[in-house]
Amino acid sequence: MNDALPSFVPALPEMFLAASAMVLLVLGAFQRGPHVAREIGWLGVVALAVTAALVMSFGYERKVSLYGMMVTDGFGMFMSVLTLIGAGFAIVMAMRFNEREGVARFEYPVLVLLSTTGMLMMITANDLISLYVGLELQNLALYVIASFQRDQTRSSEAGLKYFVLGALSSGMLLYGASMVYGFAGSTNFDTLAHTLEASNASIGLIIGIVFVAVGLAFKVSAVPFHMWTPDVYEGAPTPATAFFSIAPKTAALALFVRVMIYAFGELVDQWQQIIMAISVASMILGALAAINQRNIKRLMAYSSIGHVGYALIGLAAGTPAGVRGILVYMAIYVFMNIGTFGVILCMRREGRLVEGIEDLAGLARTQPMLAAALAIFMFSMAGIPPLAGFFAKFYIFMAAIDARLFWLAVLGVVTSVVGAYYYVRIVKIMYFDEPKGAFDPGIGREMQAVVLISAMVILFFIVFPSPIVGAAELASATLFPG
Amino acid sequence: MIVQAICFYLFAAITVASGVMVIAARNPVHSVLFLILAFFNAAGLFVLAGAEFLALILVIVYVGAVAVLFLFVVMMLDINFVELRQGALQYLPVGALVGLVLLVELILVFGAWVAGPEVAQSIAAPLPLATNVTNTAALGQLLYTRYVYVFQASGMILLVAMVGAIVLTLRARTDVRKQDINVQVGRRRADTLEIVKVRPRQGV
């Protein structure tokens, strides 16, 4: 047994991101001045961009490294880049908000970078140990971000709730992982897949997989493990909510797909029914529970639960087409959410953030551009063609039909029609109700850019779908060996 | 052999019993003390298994640091645990039911333990033989080679915990007078001293 230090080159993106987070931390601690938070924020965005370039430089080829602890492949690359984009936008969106709320501190972008490092580790994990460590790195930073407005009870409460339920789900995941290790003799995904190929799964292993799936379902907030989501989304500062609904969700879903399809792919008959059940429950709850919401952040929480339900259809299919559907869905979901939260962050009245849905009344008359953008995002989320959200659902349902899961596709269409009600209701309130008073002008150039970019992506996806769909096609193929 | 078996059952029984006492004890300080007892016995189990490094780490870190910290917190915070526990009884049936289901499941699972022949070969990262190297060296060899990636990442987690604690609790207080050596050294006589000519019988 003479192991040597492995080559760290494959972990270059993670290492660069971690190192830049630490450099920015030191820089922020020694800098004085009124705009430190903003400067560190922009430097953080640059670091994320460089990391994305590093991730992309590895290409689509599948390569296992660091003694099987991590894997670089097209699937990981696609999801990593999505996560990095989400994190970058989250930092930009938080700048002005934090300054206005008096919490403009340089630790915010640093924590976002650290949690993004954890997300990259999750996405490229090839072992249950690196999966767990990445997950904890991500989560621990997220708990702090949730309670970043520490003088507000709501924010602290959100952080505490997130922490307690996150710890619970981590416990379940670890319990499942220990069962898997006990019955399959390994935590490595390659070895697990190999072992399962050779022998039948014992009941203990299946219980272990169920626990791992429960832990991961907590992280993607799929029903029935969703109960933390609305409270945390409502209580956390709005830019943090935007971050939660974009980056961690993408990373956790990537992890879910990799564990299920790659490591436990042989047992697809065993876990398919679980995934179908949570997918159906998430779609139904996402559609029905959102109808009664008055707070737009709570509404977005239920909407994200519903979206996870749709994405999980692709996982239930368990085919390359299904994984491609998930990748396309998540890419479009990320941009829809960035745009929607961008608009939410722009709506202030008398210096306070407007969060009630009724308060949006007459937005079309006071701020027509913002209203138009929000209408685009809402129609896209409802899945109305020709916007991008329609194609996201289209690829998923196609995959479900190819895998002969007809009733799942039908249920998906039905729930998305029900869900369309509350999305379209927002548009109705903005365009046809009497205005309740003017919104504060001056939303800032960076917020305009954020909303504009995401609106462009959603609008013109139909014209140029190939960058996303083509990359998703190549990426999903790398997850299925042979 | 028989001595080892007796030791194992003794340690295991005391661990479980003190684990029960941790949640059953009325006084929180007693709970923490039982926790320490449980840690000590778990360390004994580690020694029996030949993992003396883990045993000592358990005693040093958990008993020496974590449990003592618990003790401090329990004594400093005046929490009325009886009050906290009042609602617990109504959740007992549900909790007991879930626990029972889990127990039955576990018995079923471990009763039917069958490991395939290839499982033995694929066991992740077997430790070097205990006869060749010491426990500590074996752990070091694994941590800094095979698991170096996650080892470094664990360091990052600790960093996040540190940053988080500072972000959430550090406040710049304005009502504190801090010593600033630069200001003290750079002080001139003219800033603080004024010579007043006092005429006789006129006062200042």
For chain B, the domain total comes to: 2
- Look at residue A103 and tell me if it is in a domain: yes
CB contact under 8 A, A204 and B118: no
- Look at residue A4 and tell me if it is in a domain: no
Q: What angle do CA A339, A340, A346 make, to 5 degrees?
A: 90
> Are B142 and B127 in contact, with CB atoms under 8 Å apart?
yes
Q: Is the pLDDT at A472 greater than 50, yes or no?
A: yes
Q: What is the mean pLDDT of residues A87-96?
A: 92
Q: What is the mean pLDDT of residues A327-345?
A: 93
Task: State the smallest CA–CA distance between residue B200 and chain A in angstroms.
Answer: 53
- Look at residue A223 and tell me if it is in a domain: yes
**In chain B, what percentage of residues exceed pLDDT 70?**
87
What is the per-residue pLDDT for B126? Answer: 55
The span from the CA of A383 to the CA of A385, in Å, is: 6
CB contact under 8 A, B164 and A141: yes
Q: Is the pLDDT at B103 greater than 50, yes or no?
A: yes
- Look at residue A2 and tell me if it is in a domain: no
The span from the CA of B112 to the CA of B131, in Å, is: 33
Q: pLDDT band at A2, cuts 50/70/90?
A: low
- Taking alpha carbons only, the member of A252, A230, A251 closest to residue A241 is A230
Q: Which domain holds residue B166?
A: 131-170
Give the lowest-confidence range in A123-137, A231-245, B167-181.
B167-181
- B66 vs A117, residue with greater confidence: A117
> Which of chain B's residues have a Cβ under 8 Å away from the Cβ of A69?
147, 149-150
- Look at residue A276 and tell me if it is in a domain: yes
- Taking alpha carbons only, the member of B165, B41, B183, B7 closest to residue A141 is B165
Q: Is the pLDDT at B82 greater than 80, yes or no?
A: no
How large is the ipTM? 0.90
Residues 6+ apart with CB under 8 A from B185: none
Nearest to A110 among B121, B128, B163 (CB): B163
Nearest to A207 among B105, B114, B159 (CB): B105
Q: Is the pLDDT at A392 greater than 60, yes or no?
A: yes
CB contact under 8 A, A185 and B119: yes
What is the per-residue pLDDT for A311? Answer: 93
Residues 6+ apart with CB under 8 A from A435: A361, A362, A363, A365, A366
- Look at residue B64 and tell me if it is in a domain: yes
What is the per-residue pLDDT for A443? Answer: 73
The span from the CA of B181 to the CA of B175, in Å, is: 18
The span from the CA of A104 to the CA of A36, in Å, is: 8
Element (H, E) at A64: strand A63-65
Residue of B nearest to A118 (CA): B153
Residues 6+ apart with CB under 8 A from B197: none
Q: pLDDT band at A1, cuts 50/70/90?
A: very low
Q: What angle do CA A469, A470, A474 make, to 5 degrees?
A: 115
Give the lowest-confidence range in A162-166, A272-276, A298-302, A345-349.
A345-349
What is the DSSP-derived secondary structure letter of residue A151? T
Nearest to A184 among B119, B147, B166 (CB): B119
Task: State the smallest CA–CA distance between residue A186 and chain B in angstroms.
Answer: 5
Check which CATH number belongs to the domain holding B64 and give it: 1.20.120.1200
- Look at residue A1 and tell me if it is in a domain: no
pLDDT digits (tens, 9 = 90+) for A129-177: 999 999 999 999 999 999 998 888 999 999 999 999 999 999 999 999 9
Q: Between β-strands A348-349 and A70-72, what pairing exists: parallel, antiparallel or unpaired?
A: unpaired
> Which of chain B's residues have a Cβ under 8 Å away from the Cβ of A207?
105, 109
Q: pLDDT band at B17, cuts 50/70/90?
A: very high
- Range among A39-43, B127-131, B166-170 with highest mean pLDDT value: A39-43
- Look at residue A62 and tell me if it is in a domain: yes
What does the H/E/C string look like for B139-171? HHHHHCCCCHHHHHHHHHHHHHHHHHHHHHHCC
**In chain A, what percentage of residues exceed pLDDT 90?**
58
What is the per-residue pLDDT for B26? Answer: 79
Count of other CB atoms within 10 angstroms of residue B170: 10
Q: What is the mean pLDDT of residues A373-392?
A: 91
Q: What is the mean pLDDT of residues B175-188?
A: 84
The span from the CA of B195 to the CA of A184, in Å, is: 88
pLDDT digits (tens, 9 = 90+) for A399-442: 999 988 899 999 999 999 999 998 999 999 888 888 777 777 76
- Range among A201-210, A326-335, A465-474, B107-116 with highest mean pLDDT value: A326-335
What is the per-residue pLDDT for A211? Answer: 92
Q: Is the pLDDT at A99 greater than 80, yes or no?
A: yes
Does the predicted TM-score (pTM) go above 0.95?
A: no
Distances (CA, A) of A300 to A75, A309, B139: 27, 14, 47
Q: What is the mean pLDDT of residues A231-247?
A: 93
Residues 100-129 (A) with a CB less than 8 A from some CB of B:
105, 107, 110-111, 114-115, 117-118, 121, 129
Q: Is the pLDDT at A203 greater than 90, yes or no?
A: no
For chain A, the domain total comes to: 1
Tokens representing B13 are 């029984």
CB contact under 8 A, B119 and A133: no
Q: Is B161 on the interface with A (CB under 8 A)?
A: yes
Q: pLDDT band at B34, cuts 50/70/90?
A: very high
> Are A482 and A401 in contact, with CB atoms under 8 Å apart?
no
Distances (CA, A) of B119 to A127, A177, A197, B108, B194: 16, 15, 12, 20, 88
What are the DSSP calls for A122-150, one per residue?
HHTB-BHHHHHHHHHHHHHHHHHHHT-ST
- Taking alpha carbons only, the member of A134, A154, A2 closest to residue A71 is A134
Q: What is the mean pLDDT of residues A247-254?
A: 94
- A210 vs B135, residue with greater confidence: A210
CB contact under 8 A, A141 and B160: yes
- Look at residue B117 and tell me if it is in a domain: no
**In chain A, what percentage of residues exceed pLDDT 70?**
99
Mean pLDDT of all residues belonging to chain B: 84
The span from the CA of A269 to the CA of B159, in Å, is: 41
Nearest to B150 among A107, A129, A148 (CB): A129
Q: Is the pLDDT at B101 greater than 80, yes or no?
A: yes
What is the per-residue pLDDT for B113? Answer: 67
> A107-123 and A238-257 are packed helices; what angle lies between their axes, rounded to 10 degrees?
10
Q: What is the mean pLDDT of residues B47-57?
A: 90
Residues 382-401 (A) with a CB less than 8 A from some CB of B:
none
Residues 214-233 (A) with a CB less than 8 A from some CB of B:
none
The residues pairing with A188 across neighbouring beta strands, listed in sequence order, are: A127
> Are A28 and A106 in contact, with CB atoms under 8 Å apart?
yes
What is the per-residue pLDDT for B122? Answer: 61
> Which of chain A's residues have a Cβ under 8 Å away from the Cβ of B161?
140
Give the lowest-confidence range in A90-99, A195-204, B177-186.
A195-204
Q: What is the mean pLDDT of residues A232-241?
A: 92
Q: What is the mean pLDDT of residues A242-265?
A: 92
CB contact under 8 A, A204 and B148: no
Q: What is the mean pLDDT of residues A372-401?
A: 91
Q: Which domain holds residue A34?
A: 9-477
Q: Is B147 on the interface with A (CB under 8 A)?
A: yes
Indicate the residue among B79, B98, B118 that finishes a domain. B79
What is the per-residue pLDDT for B199? Answer: 83
